[in-house]
Amino acid sequence: MQKSLLIDPQKCTSCLQCEMACSAEHTGAFNPARSRIKIFEFEHGARSIPYTCTQCAEAWCLHACPVEAITKNMETGAMEVNETTCVGCKVCTIACPFGTINYNPDTGKVAKCDLCSGDPQCADACPTGAITYVDAGWTGYDRMQEWAVRTHAQTQA
């Protein structure tokens, strides 16, 4: 079963544990500046929204790469950057409509979410369940269930 990250901004407190976990996994240091997931704050801190790569099935970044450094991991569905092949041309960063693939000046390569080979550290670190790793075919399950519950209540009334 393919899984994907599910983000519920309502639960996010902006603690940035996810950003630290991501950067620690990929760079060995706690370094939000090198995290592939970012938290954005709105309304003077009243809303916090985690944002990261959605792993497009037809990925712009993959198609744009002139040296085929980006490939799809068939097991996890993640688009992964092969750092040895990447030449740091940044064309993928232009191609991605969501801005979720970025150049890392420390390495001269691009970096994006790779779902940590199927064990995403951001989801593991999130203390509130704002980031979970669920069945890719059922990311809407919880929301559907919520509405079903409402419908149930209404029909009971």
Partner 1 sequence: MGWQKQILRVNLTKGTAEIEPLNMEWAHDYLGERGLATKYLYEGMDPKTDPMAPENMLIFATGPLTGTMASTSGRYAVVTKGPLTNAIACSNSGGKFGAEMKFAGYDMIILEGKSPKPVYLHIIDDQIEILPADDIWGTSVWNTEEHIKSKHQNPLLKVASIGEAGEKGARYACIVNDLHRAAGRSGVGAVMGSKNLKAIAVHGTKGVRVKDPKAFMKAVKETHALLADNSGRKGLTELGTNDMIDAMQEFGGLPTKNFNEVQFEGTSKINPAAAAAVGPDGHKNLLTNKACFGCTIACGRIAHIHGEHFSIVNKPEYRHASGGLEYETAYAFGPMLKVDDIDALTYAAFSTNEHGLDPISFGATLAAAMELYEMGVITKDDTDGVDLSFGNAEALTIMADKTGKYEGFGQILAMGSKLMCEKYGHPELSMSVKGQEFAGYDSRALQGMGLGFATSNRGACHLKHDVFAEDMEDQTGKGKVEPCKNSQDKIAMIDSSGLCLFTTCAWDTPEFQKQIAAACEGDDWTVERLIEVGERVWNLERMYNLEAGLTAADDTLPKRLLETPAPSGTAKGHVSELPTMLPEYYEYRGWTKDGEPTTQTLSRLGLESR
Q: Which residues bind partner 1 (CB under 8 A)?
A: 13-17, 20-21, 23-24, 27-34, 43-48, 106, 125, 127-128
- Closest separation in Å from C-beta 67 to partner 1: 26
Positive or negative, the CA dihedral 98, 101, 105, 109 is: negative
- Closest separation in Å from C-beta 29 to partner 1: 3
Cα 131 vs. chain centroid, distance in angstroms? 9
Q: Which is nearer to partner 1, 129 or 140 (CB)?
A: 129
- Closest separation in Å from C-beta 16 to partner 1: 6
Nearest partner of 110 among 157, 44, 61, judged by Cα = 61
* Angle ∠(83,84,87) on CA atoms, nearest 5: 75
- Closest separation in Å from C-beta 133 to partner 1: 17
Q: Which is nearer to partner 1, 46 or 153 (CB)?
A: 46
Give residue 78's identity as a one-letter amino acid code: A
Q: Which is nearer to partner 1, 105 or 140 (CB)?
A: 105
